[in-house]
């Protein structure tokens, strides 16, 4: 369950002084992904075990919706007046996006200093880039007072670097689907087993609605760990009312909640998962905290763009961006696009080489008036335009870039959706001048 990657590819993701340090780190162990906890445990021992000095931790695994769920958790906690550490991945534009320290994105200076400290203490021992980044986040969090820590799993769960935290207050598993099969297994059951590896003895678990194969694995793991389990659809329900607000119910009772700030019908389920996680954990929150659901922001998740790229469209047109990139994300996106039938929809797609392009496109292109395939300069491991056209069954036409496509549009007000890859989303945000905050 490992793979070798060319070291030069690191520069596609990390720039500036941070990239210089991480390029040196990669030379110690040039595998891009090697799921293990042994190397990181050894490093954390040398660092004084910062993972044992964190504020209460919420640990989030799954295939889709992790970032949105983490963003909603943070927004709820911050609406309660709490200071929150958050570690997420991947970043879109700059690696500093991965670390929110007591509510504020880490500065490049602070991150570089932490990485250089880790590099010195590691003293040339084999270590992966993601393990060093995880250690940096844990060190930053342990040294800065806060009330809550939210950790998003990078890949899988059982052997993911974030799984060094021995006892979170709650474990969260978002929808599990086929993705990263080369590392996690070819079936839903095998992938679910890796995700369920974050479950700890006696620690509450909140699980999204799952396919039966994944659900059975998660239920079995929770039972073997004697971990109390709340499942959305069984123990937790959340319905959108006619005015857009939510009626939420779990074993502790009923709540009336505001409409999610994040767009898309699937965000109701992500909001429910975040609320359930906090309630199942027993973490105390005032009633005003739930207002945070309406204040949640998370870039490249059905995000409306209004910058330089949007200015290339005719007056009255809308430009949207979504980073979904696998079949499950395509289905979730399709459910929202079904409600966008009031005007024509033009879809621009760029994808990563390893993804199931046909599986993602199939539900999305049903709603597209036109479909355009792109591959941007600087887009990490971009799938060639010709391959996207083939995956679309020949329906897509070559962009071949976003800047080439947008000026072609004309006619009555319409929507344009750019989607298919978080790496593409990062390039788009740069081009539009709309950077994550």
Q: Number of H helices and number of E strands within the chain?
A: 15, 19
Which residues touch 352 (CB under 8 Å, ≥6 apart)? 325, 380, 381, 382, 383, 421, 423
Task: Choose among 18, 16, 84, 80: nearest CA to 55.
Answer: 84
Mean per-residue pLDDT, 176-186: 79
Distance of alpha carbon 327 from alpha carbon 358, whole angstroms:
8
With 70 as the cut, is the pLDDT of residue 68 above it? yes
DSSP β-ladder status, 205-207 and 170-173: parallel
| pLDDT value, residue 10 | 52
Q: How far apart are CA 29 and CA 124, in angstroms?
A: 10
Helix (H) or strand (E) holding 346: strand 345-349
Question: How far, in Å, CA of 364 to CA of 358, rounded?
Answer: 10
Q: Helix 38-46 vs helix 108-122: angle between axes, to the nearest 10 degrees? A: 100
**What's the pLDDT tens digit per position in 372-423?**
999 999 898 999 999 999 999 999 999 999 999 999 999 999 999 999 999 9
Question: 409: which residues sit within 8 A by CB, 6+ positions away?
Answer: 313, 314, 317, 346, 416
Q: Please provide the size of the chain in residues.
A: 437
Inter-helix orientation angle 16-26/108-122, to 10° = 20
7 pLDDT higher than 50: no
Contact 275, 79 (CB under 8 A): no
- For the cut 50, the answer to whether the pLDDT of residue 5 exceeds it is no
Tally of CA atoms within 13 A in the half-sphere of 241 that contains its CB: 10
- 26, pLDDT greater than 90: no
> How confident is the model at residue 15, as a pLDDT?
76
Q: What is the pLDDT of residues 208-244, one digit of tens each?
A: 999 999 999 999 999 999 999 999 999 999 999 988 8
Q: Enumerate the H helices of 225-356 as residue ranges.
A: 267-281, 292-295, 327-337
Kindly state the percentage of the chain with pLDDT values over 90.
86
Whole-structure pTM value = 0.93
- Write down the pLDDT at residue 8: 39
Confidence tier at 33 by pLDDT (50, 70, 90): confident
pLDDT beyond 80 at 11: no
pLDDT of 29 reads 84
Mean pLDDT of the chain: 93
* Dist. CA 137–CA 129, nearest whole Å: 12
Instruction: Between 180 and 160, name the one with better pLDDT.
Output: 160
Residue 2 has pLDDT above 80, yes or no: no
Predicted pLDDT at 12 = 55
Q: What is the pLDDT of residue 6?
A: 35
Residue corresponding to tokens 């007591």? 102
Work out the average pLDDT over 286-290: 97
Least confident of 168-182, 190-204, 265-279: 168-182
Spell out a b/e string for 12-35, using b for 16 or more CB atoms within 10 Å of the CB, else e: ebbeeebbebbeebbebbbebbbb
Q: What's the confidence (pLDDT) of residue 435?
A: 83
Per-residue pLDDT tens over the stretch 342-371 = 999 999 999 999 899 999 999 999 999 999
| pLDDT tens digit sequence for 301-347 | 999 999 999 999 999 999 999 999 899 899 999 999 999 999 999 99
Residues 18, 23, 27, 30, CA torsion sign: positive
């Amino acid at each position: 369950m490992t793979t070798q990657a060319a070291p030069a590819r690191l520069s596609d993701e990390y720039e500036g002084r941070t990239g210089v340090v991480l390029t040196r780190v990669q030379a110690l162990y040039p595998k891009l992904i090697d799921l293990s906890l042994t190397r990181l445990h050894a490093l954390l021992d040398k660092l004084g075990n910062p993972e044992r000095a964190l504020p209460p931790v919420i640990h989030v695994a799954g295939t889709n919706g992790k970032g949105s769920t983490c963003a909603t958790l943070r927004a709820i906690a911050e609406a309660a007046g709490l200071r929150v550490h958050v570690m997420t991945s991947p970043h879109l534009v700059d690696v500093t996006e991965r670390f929110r320290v007591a509510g504020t994105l880490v500065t490049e200076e602070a991150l570089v200093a932490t990485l250089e400290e880790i590099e010195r203490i590691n003293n040339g021992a084999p270590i992966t880039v993601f393990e060093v980044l995880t250690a940096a986040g844990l060190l930053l969090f342990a040294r800065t007072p806060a009330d809550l820590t939210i950790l998003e799993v990078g890949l899988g769960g059982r052997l993911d670097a974030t799984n060094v935290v021995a006892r979170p207050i709650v474990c969260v598993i978002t929808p599990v689907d086929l993705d990263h099969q080369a590392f996690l297994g070819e079936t839903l059951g095998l992938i679910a087993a890796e995700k369920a590896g974050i479950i700890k003895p006696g620690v509450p678990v909140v699980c999204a609605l799952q396919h039966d194969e994944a659900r059975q694995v998660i239920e079995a793991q929770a039972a073997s760990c004697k971990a109390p389990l709340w499942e959305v659809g069984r123990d937790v329900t959340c319905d959108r009312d006619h005015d857009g607000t939510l009626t939420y119910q779990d074993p502790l009772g009923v709540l009336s909640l505001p409409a999610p700030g994040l767009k898309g019908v699937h965000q109701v389920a992500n909001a429910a998962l975040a609320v359930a996680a906090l309630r199942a954990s027993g973490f105390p929150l005032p009633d005003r905290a739930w207002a945070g659901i309406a204040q949640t922001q998370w870039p490249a998740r059905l995000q409306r763009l209004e910058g330089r790229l949007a200015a290339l469209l005719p007056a009255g047109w809308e430009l949207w961006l979504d980073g979904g990139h696998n079949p499950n994300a395509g289905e979730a996106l399709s459910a929202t696009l079904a409600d966008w039938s009031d005007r024509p929809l033009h879809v621009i797609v760029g994808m990563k080489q390893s993804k199931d392009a046909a599986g993602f496109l199939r539900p999305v292109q049903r709603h597209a008036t036109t479909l355009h395939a792109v591959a941007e300069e600087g887009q990490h491991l971009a799938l060639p335009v010709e391959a996207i056209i083939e995956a679309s069954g020949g329906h897509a036409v070559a962009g071949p870039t976003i800047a080439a496509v947008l000026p072609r549009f004309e006619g009555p007000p319409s929507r344009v959706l750019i989607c298919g890859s978080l790496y593409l989303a990062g390039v788009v945000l740069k081009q539009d001048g709309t950077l994550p905050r």
